[in-house]
Amino acid sequence: MKPEAPPESRPEAILADPDSMVRSFGLTKLFGRRRALDGIELDVRRGDMFGLIGGNGAGKTTFFRLAATLIPPTAGRLYVARHGVTQWPGVVRHALGYLPDHFGIADRVPVHVYLEFFALLVGIPAPERRSRVETALGEVGLADQYEKDLRSLSLGMQQRLALARLLLRRPALLLLDEPLSGLDPRARAETLEVLRRLNGAGHTIVMSTHILPDLDRFCNRIGILEAGRLRFCGTLARARKSLERWSRYAVAVSDRGADAARLVAEAPGVFGATLEAGARPARVTFGLTPPAADPSEVVARLVGAGLRVVQAGREEPSLLDVYLRFTRGKVT
């Protein structure tokens, strides 16, 4: 006999929580014998800018497709906007907008005609369509492209147009699978700024990307997937706190960077000593394994060798550090 589900996993508990936007319990998806997702317990709260991180094949796209009700789970439960995706697919679809990692943009039509067509498809009444289109274009910074032909839009503008398409129905939740893929630095920055504004306006956003520094600056919570399993789910602050035992430091020397890197690497308790390419002054980052390691001993070693240390300090763990800490390089 199976044990009774914990109270927080019961449907009535989810329905009673107004801030639950995405919640899964034991979520599993099989494709043949392959476990694309294996017992996922993920929690996204209202107002989150949530980053879903993982390598190719980790299960990110599978999770998005499950949440968007495009495929059914094999086992476990998944609630979106407090409704089960299998029991209430229509309600779930109304609550979210889903942008897949590949989408099509038709050409030879003006931007507003393209959006008005989708407004018709999703059932927006004719008297409201133009105002909804204008509002959505304004939200993504494309108000001045209203009459432009789709062929004239850059890739970054096309990505923002796809976001505008989602916003026509004013969904509370946006699921964005690799929304920054293939964008140049300026287009990526512009798209991120749009997402920041949308999140500030009340949209809960769950997005995946391989560009970890972007998530580091914009996301308040993250989930790390590897080989179909959730390795971490929580705030960035909690993830960084978990790395306190694996502290990283940096020292900068006026010259002789290669010598500094060698001396640091040879110090007791040091691991991962790396000379930053092109840094001026020369900068070496490294990790220390407690409790025997002491960063002051590393500095003393450099000074004793005649190097001039101009800066030294502890490094705030990056999202890449967090990702490497919680994953092991496995694939499904």
* Neighbour count for residue 261 (Cβ, 10 Å): 21
Q: Which domains does the chain have, with CATH numbers?
A: 7-240 (3.40.50.300), 244-316 (3.30.70.100)
Give the contacts of 33 (CB within 8 A, at least 6 positions apart). Answer: none
Cα dihedral 243/246/250/251 (nearest 10): 150
Tell me, what's the pLDDT at 315? Answer: 80
**pTM for this model (two decimals):** 0.81
Q: In this structure, which amino acid lies at residue 55? A: G
* Neighbour count for residue 285 (Cβ, 10 Å): 17
Q: Smallest Cα–Cα separation from 215: which of 241, 190, 196?
A: 196
Kind of pairing, strands 248-253 and 34-40? unpaired
Tell me, what's the pLDDT at 121? Answer: 92
E strand spans, the chain: 20-31, 34-40, 43-45, 49-53, 75-80, 83-84, 96-99, 173-177, 204-208, 221-226, 229-235, 248-253, 270-275, 282-288, 309-315
Tell me, what's the pLDDT at 98? Answer: 97
Q: How many whole angstroms separate alpha carbon 155 and alpha carbon 144?
A: 16
Q: How many whole angstroms separate alpha carbon 175 and alpha carbon 161?
A: 15
> Both tokens of residue 257?
């960077």
- What kind and span of H or E run contains 256? none
Phi-psi region of 202 (alpha: psi -120 to 50; beta: other; left: phi over 0): left
- Averages of pLDDT over runs of 10 residues in the chain (332 residues) are 42 71 96 95 96 93 97 96 93 94 78 94 94 96 94 91 95 95 90 95 94 87 95 90 77 92 90 84 85 79 93 83 81 56
Tell me, what's the pLDDT at 246? Answer: 67
Q: Smallest Cα–Cα separation from 59: which of 184, 230, 311, 195?
A: 230
Tell me, what's the pLDDT at 211? Answer: 85
